[in-house]
Amino acid sequence: MFKRLLGMLLGALLSIQIGSVQAAAIAMPDRFSAAAAKAVLLEGGNAVDAAVAAGFVLAVTYPEAGNLGGGGFMTLVTRPVENLQSGRQAYFLDYRETAPQAAFRDLYLDQQGEVIPYRSLVGYQASGVPGTVMGLWQAHQRFGSKPWKKLLQYAIDYAEQGFEVPPALEENRRWYQQWIEGKSSDALNFSEHFGALQSGRMFKQPQLAKTLKRIAARGAADFYQGETARMLVQQLQTHGGLMTLDDLAAYQAKWREPVRFGWQGREVVSAPPPSSGGVAIGQLLKLYALLQPELQAQRQHNRELPEQALKTHFYAELEKRVYADRAEFLGDPDFVDVPVERLLSDAYLQQRAQGVLWDAISESESIRPGKIELPETTHFSIVDAHGNAVSNTYTLNMPFGSGVVIEQAGFLMNNEMDDFSTKPGVANVFGVVGGTANEIAPHKRMLSSMSPTILLKDGEVEMVVGTPGGSTIITSVFQVIVNVLAEGMTPQQALDAPRVHHQLLPKDQIAYNPDLPEAVKSALELMGYTLKRNNYMGDVQLVVCDKTHCEAASDVRGRGVSAAW
């Protein structure tokens, strides 16, 4: 307690001495990561230090999505640092998984060319080469200010001494055990390792603690070339997995130019390919702005339609155009040319906006059955007292990934291979389709929707936002930005408000969460939409700042904890 108080005092003093924006805030997906991130910041660590500590803690306390065996993206904004060679202040770190060398386009098809059910989701062939450890390592190498080893200690403690299992974690564990049942003939060991997750009980992970200690001592080299690499490859290869030691040794996290565009007097900084997020959110926000005059005119003209129904239809019209572009053009930029600038250009979007219909539903070009399962990824948003911000989303893809635990190392493997287009036109677990731009190739990154985003106003951080939710990530981030900046909601109101989602396919289906008023639903049904409650629509972690203070909010839909000071 005394140590904590001292830390708080020191933290406060430090931020005053630096004399920049003194507000700091965190919005984290669970209380353990919140405690670690806050402690690091109060001890004078910066946003990246806090992100590294939290990233490893979540690998212990949020095993649905926090991970060592997965991957993700980090969007960062830093104050100008004098000795930094490039004058730019916004960065993006891509630590997405890659396909193993042995992967090929038709990996998941049988001899008749049909998709083998669940092969890309459950078992030993579902995993891409993990990127998380390299990502956190590289972020720390470039921007960290506290010792790596010290930052990993929070996670090591939770793994060694245990943490109290939250009710939602037990629920998710039960759901997942039932979900993987019978989906793979591989020997899955999820239940052996995580079957004992019980609400209110302490859960210890001794093997994971050892792995974290090795990574603390040797850095990313342990995971990619050392003992952990050997454990991982040995187990995967025994069971028909594709990954090799060479795949791990060849893995690189990549610094990329983030997607940047202006919107209503701000600069939005978001995820470039291999995420579809930044492009899609850019298209949505720009289309939203372009069509405002017409939306207002429709409001006047069509007064009997409930406001929320009109808005939902408007969003659906924008979203179906955006998801059509996503399916066609987006993929790993190291393999395909993604026309980012064109997709975000005013001329192109003006042309796209012209097709938007106000009193009828635009035809979807083709119909595919979508299936949205319980998804799980996790996001956190951090602003430190110096005005640096980190927006980080990472994942195993589905909750708990592929159902495979690396035995001696105690961590779960991802099932991110399902984010590739396994066959043109066939929907993945999130119901989204793709074509050649996102087909499987060795070392290629699978297309993502993860969209860690930061908005700047007058060069200062105004918003840090992101969420899990598979294909709904894009529309959730879009709606939260609009809720706060165009509709004037407080951060918490913006997260609690119902969100709607349309992704082109299934045709004319709008998903919502939480419930919409009956009048809104009937009006939409009358227009020809089918409505589907989506039991899960993200877990947004949001920080909003002005020049003097920050506010933070965590989605009601999750178990997040936020704080600003």
Q: Site residues (CB under 6 A) for ligand DON? A: 375-377, 395, 397, 416, 419, 448-450, 468-470, 473
26 contacts 563 by C-beta, under 8 angstroms: yes
Measured from the CB atom, the residue of 190 and 529 that comes closer to ligand DON is 190
- List C-alpha distances in Å: 48 to 136, 362, 452: 9, 44, 14
Dist. CA 45–CA 50, nearest whole Å:
7
> Would you call 169 helix, strand, or coil by DSSP?
helix
Cα separation, 266 vs 284, in Å, equals 15
Note the Cα 562 to chain centre separation in Å.
Answer: 17
Q: Indicate if the alpha-carbon torsion angle 452, 92, 129, 170 is positive or negative.
A: negative
Residues 6+ apart with CB under 8 A from 90: 75, 76, 77, 258, 260, 269, 454, 456
What distance in Å separates the CA atoms of residue 74 and residue 275, rounded to the nearest whole number? 11
Q: Residue 414 corresponds to which tokens in the numbers above?
A: 């991802």
CB of 377 to ligand DON, least distance (A): 3
Quote the tokens at residue 141. 């190498």
Structure-token pair, residue 480: 């939260």
Q: Output DSSP code: residue 278.
A: H
Q: Which is nearest to 180 in space by CA: 396, 481, 503?
A: 396
Report yes or no: 553 and 495 within 8 Å, Cβ to Cβ.
yes
Which of 98, 132, 228, 377 is catalytic? The answer is 377
Strand 550-554 to strand 460-466: parallel, antiparallel, or no bridges (unpaired)? Answer: unpaired
By three-state DSSP, how is residue 164 classified?
strand
Residues 281, 270 contacting (CB under 8 angstroms): yes
SS3 70: coil
| Distance (Å, whole) CA 154 – CA 144 | 16
Q: Where are the alpha helices (DSSP H) in 267-404?
A: 277-290, 292-301, 307-329, 340-343, 346-354
Question: Which of 400, 548, 372 is closest to 470 using CA atoms?
Answer: 372
377 catalytic? Reply is yes
Edge-to-edge strand order for the sheet containing 453-457?
Answer: 259-263, 266-270, 453-457, 460-466, 541-545, 550-554
Three-state SS sequence of 544-555: EECCCCEEEEEC
Give the residue carrying structure tokens 């659906």.
316
Six-digit token string for 469? 């939710």
Q: What is d(CA 313, CA 502) in angstroms, rounded to the nearest whole number?
A: 9
Helix (H, G, I), strand (E, B), or coil: what is residue 262? strand
CA atoms within 13 A on the CB side of 114: 4
Are the CB atoms for 260 and 453 separated by under 8 Å?
Answer: no
Task: Please give the positions annotated as active site.
Answer: 377
